[in-house]
Structure formats: structure tokens, C-alpha cells
């Protein structure tokens, strides 16, 4: 989507190093409905705790919906057609696809919805999302539950960074020039949202894989 998308797009409330943020895009009732839809995803494809390429357990728990799921183990980072248990990933909920359509203005649907769960103390190191075939497509994320500090760096590793707190219902898009910026989650603020019964934070990232 280096070209103009086929449908009009909303204006982001905040633009940080080319990363677009739509604060409060989802109202609390829509957030609660999405959490219910995600319960079905997790029932079919339970959370697992991936290892990095270097054999270190990640603190975030993950699962996916869609034609592909993102997995990480000693063999590296990649997309797979099946959950580690061998079952196919469940479909991406319509409530999630609707956010992608409204915000990206694209006709192409995402192939993967990666679901990350952050319990208290979980975080995610600075990384680029670069396992997809075509960086012309954006990556969109939806935050649900406890607030988290999202750090944005540069396309090259290192250098100065800036951070922003993401709250429940916020949507973020990394596309265009910002598609390959390094980013990560410093920390989650426990007890900052009542959306998830057991606390913690869910982050969904939607990607076009191939
Ligand atoms: C998170 N998000 O918010 C981690 N990646 O928990 C990501 O790693 C991310 O929010 C690509 C695009 C948007 C994102
Ligand atoms: Fe990412």
C-alpha cells in the first residue's frame, strides 16, 4: 500500500515518528465484545509461551487467528499454518477485521492476527516486524486492558527513542515510512483497566503475510 488506499482513511489523533495512533478508537462496549470474540480464539488456539531464537522464554504469551500464525522457537521467527498443537488457527473475528477495514481503507484483508497477552511484569524488547513478504502493507495493532508504554525508535537499530502510553481501545498503525521502525513495550501498568477480569493487557497485531 505504497499507493493511496482505495477507501478514505480517518485522520490519526497522534503521529509519532510516522506511527499513527488513534486514541480511544474502540469504546468500552466494543472493547468488551472484542474480548468475548477473543475468548473463542483462545479456546481453539490456547496461549503458549514462545522462546526466542536464542532459547530464552519470552515474557509475553501468544496465539494467533487467521490463515497464518506467528511463532518463535529455536528455529527462528516465522509464520506457520498451524498452532504448535497441530490445529489450524481459528478465523480472525469480524469485530477485529472491521477495525482493519475502517482504519486502513484497504480491500485486502490481513492474513494473521497475532494475539499477545501481557500478565504483570511482561514486556517486549525492541524489534522490527519484518517476517512478512511485502512491507508495502501496514501493520495495525489494537490494545485492550491495562495501559502499556510503547517505545518507538528508528529504522536502524539504536539511537534516540520516544514513548507513548497506549490505553485500552487505542489503535496504532505502522505503515509507509514507519513500517520498519523498531518498537517495543517497556512495561504494563497493572490495575489501570477493568476490561480483563484477571488483569493484564492484550495486544492484537494484524498483518498481511504473503
Ligand atoms: C504491543 N506491538 O503493543 C506490541 N508491532 O504489545 C507491536 O509489536 C506492534 O503494536 C507492529 C505494529 C504495531 C504494534
Ligand atoms: Fe511489533
| 6, part of any domain | no
Helix (H) or strand (E) holding 98: helix 94-104
Ligand nearest to the CA of 164: 1
Number of domains in the chain: 1
Query: Which of 53-57, 114-118, 133-137, 166-170 is least confident?
Result: 53-57
Contact between 31 and 195 (Cβ < 8 Å): yes
5 falls within a domain: no
Say if residue 127's pLDDT is above 80: yes
Ligand 2 mean position, distance from CA 73 (Å): 17
Judged by DSSP in three states, 130 sits in coil
Instruction: Give per-residue pLDDT as tens, 138-181.
Output: 999 999 999 999 999 999 999 999 999 999 999 999 999 999 99
Joined together, the cell numbers standing for residue 129 give 516486524
Q: Which CATH number belongs to the domain containing residue 97 in this structure?
A: 2.60.120.590
Q: 122 falls in which pLDDT band (50, 70, 90)?
A: very high
Q: What mean pLDDT comes out for the span 124-135? A: 97
Per the domain annotation, does 179 fall within a domain? yes
Supply the range of the domain harboring residue 31.
14-207
Three-state secondary-structure class, residue 100: helix
Instruction: Establish if 82 belongs to a structural domain.
Output: yes
Residue appearing with cell numbers 506511527: 19
- pTM for this entry: 0.97
Residues in the chain, overall count? 210
- Give me the mean pLDDT over the 107-120 stretch: 98
Q: What's the average model confidence in pLDDT over 173-195? A: 98
Report residues whose beta carbon is within 6 angstroms of any ligand 1 atom: 116, 124, 129, 139, 141, 150, 172, 174, 183, 185, 203, 205
pLDDT band at 4 (very low <50, low <70, confident <90, very high): confident
Look at residue 4 and tell me if it is in a domain.
Answer: no
pLDDT value of residue 3: 65
Q: Are 113 and 204 in contact (CB under 8 A)?
A: yes
Radius of gyration of the chain measured on its C-alpha atoms: 16
Q: Tell the residue number behind the cell numbers 524489534, with chain if given.
A: 127
Strand partners, 99: none
Ligand 1 atom nearest residue 139's Cα = 12
Give the Cα separation of 31 and 95 in Å (integer): 9
**Average model confidence (pLDDT) across the chain:** 97
Determine what percent of the chain is predicted with pLDDT higher than 90.
Answer: 98
* 2 pLDDT more than 60: no
Asked if residue 101 is part of any domain, the answer here is yes
Assigned domain for 1 exists: no
Q: What is the mean pLDDT of residues 10-35?
A: 98
User: Which residue has the least CA distance to atom 12 on ligand 1?
Assistant: 139
Amino acid at each position: 500500500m505504497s499507493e493511496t488506499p482505495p477507501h478514505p482513511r480517518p485522520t490519526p489523533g497522534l503521529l509519532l515518528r510516522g506511527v499513527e495512533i488513534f486514541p480511544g478508537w474502540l469504546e468500552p462496549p466494543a472493547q468488551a465484545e472484542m474480548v468475548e470474540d477473543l475468548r473463542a480464539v483462545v479456546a481453539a488456539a490456547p496461549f503458549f509461551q514462545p522462546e526466542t531464537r536464542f532459547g530464552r522464554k519470552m515474557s509475553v504469551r501468544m496465539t494467533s487467528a487467521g490463515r497464518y500464525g506467528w511463532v518463535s522457537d529455536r528455529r527462528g521467527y516465522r509464520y506457520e499454518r498451524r498452532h504448535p498443537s497441530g490445529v489450524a488457527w481459528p478465523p480472525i473475528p469480524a469485530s477485529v477485521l472491521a477495525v482493519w477495514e475502517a482504519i486502513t481503507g484497504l480491500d485486502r484483508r490481513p492474513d494473521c492476527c497475532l494475539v499477545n497477552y501481557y500478565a504483570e511484569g511482561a514486556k517486549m524488547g525492541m524489534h522490527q516486524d519484518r517476517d512478512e513478504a511485502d512491507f508495502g502493507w501496514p501493520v495495525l495493532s489494537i490494545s485492550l486492558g491495562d495501559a502499556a508504554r510503547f517505545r518507538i525508535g528508528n529504522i536502524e537499530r539504536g539511537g534516540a527513542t520516544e514513548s507513548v502510553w497506549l490505553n485500552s481501545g487505542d489503535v496504532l498503525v505502522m505503515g509507509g515510512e514507519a513500517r520498519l521502525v523498531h518498537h517495543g513495550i517497556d512495561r504494563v501498568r497493572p490495575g489501570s483497566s477493568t476490561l480483563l477480569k484477571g488483569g493484564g493487557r492484550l495486544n492484537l497485531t494484524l498483518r498481511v503475510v504473503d
